[in-house]
Amino acid sequence: MTEAGAGEVKQSGIGDLTSRFLQACQRHGVLAATAESCTGGLIIAAMTDIPGSSSTVDRGFVTYSNEAKVDMLGVAAATLDAYGAVSSQTAHEMAKGALERSRAGIALAVTGIAGPDGGSADKPVGLVWFGLARSGMPVVTEKRVFDNRGRDFIRRETVRHALTMGLSALAG
């Protein structure tokens, strides 16, 4: 596969990272899926910008609302009530749901606060929870708090970190 990301994705180096992730999926013989909230589909868009990605990409779930997380991914309403949409528990259920509701062998999930509004003392703008699910392995979650350098920056760094997590998971 070759790099063919457009605009922002290509300029930020995300296209190369995405190519490497998809090549790793191909080497492992797995399809990829995403479950995205704060990125609104940017991860799956970066993947499908790459020619030939149809051999390694299964689907992307854009679940911006809580209702979409419940309906499309099976996130428990009780989880959202108890911990909120931006939490380790929700990222875990999003990744697990994307894996279970697709043909993928790896699923990347993101839920966060890209701003400029919506942050609080407990959950500031820039907070993102990541989930990664692989067939036959426990779901992994990670927390990152990106500098509040604007919505585009936070979303771009979220895409970069999710792909890096995926690449690391397939390295072993």
Where do the structural domains in the chain lie, given as residue ranges?
7-171
State percent of the chain over pLDDT 70: 92
pTM: 0.93
Residue 158 has pLDDT above 80, yes or no: yes
- Higher local confidence (pLDDT), 10 or 118: 118
Architecture of domain 7-171: Alpha-Beta Complex (3.90)
Using alpha carbons, select from 96, 143, 114 the residue that is nearest to residue 38.
Answer: 114
Calculate the average pLDDT of the chain: 93
Q: Report the distance separating Cα 141 and Cα 96, nearest Å.
A: 11
Q: Is 39 exposed, middle or buried (0-12, 13-18, 19+ CB in 10 A)?
A: buried
CA-CA-CA-CA torsion sign (12, 7, 10, 18): positive
Residue 5 has pLDDT above 70, yes or no: no
Residue 172: pLDDT band by 50, 70, 90 thresholds? low
Residue 3 has pLDDT above 50, yes or no: no
Residue 1 has pLDDT above 60, yes or no: no
| Alpha-carbon distances, residue 162 vs 76, 120, 122 (angstroms) | 23, 23, 22
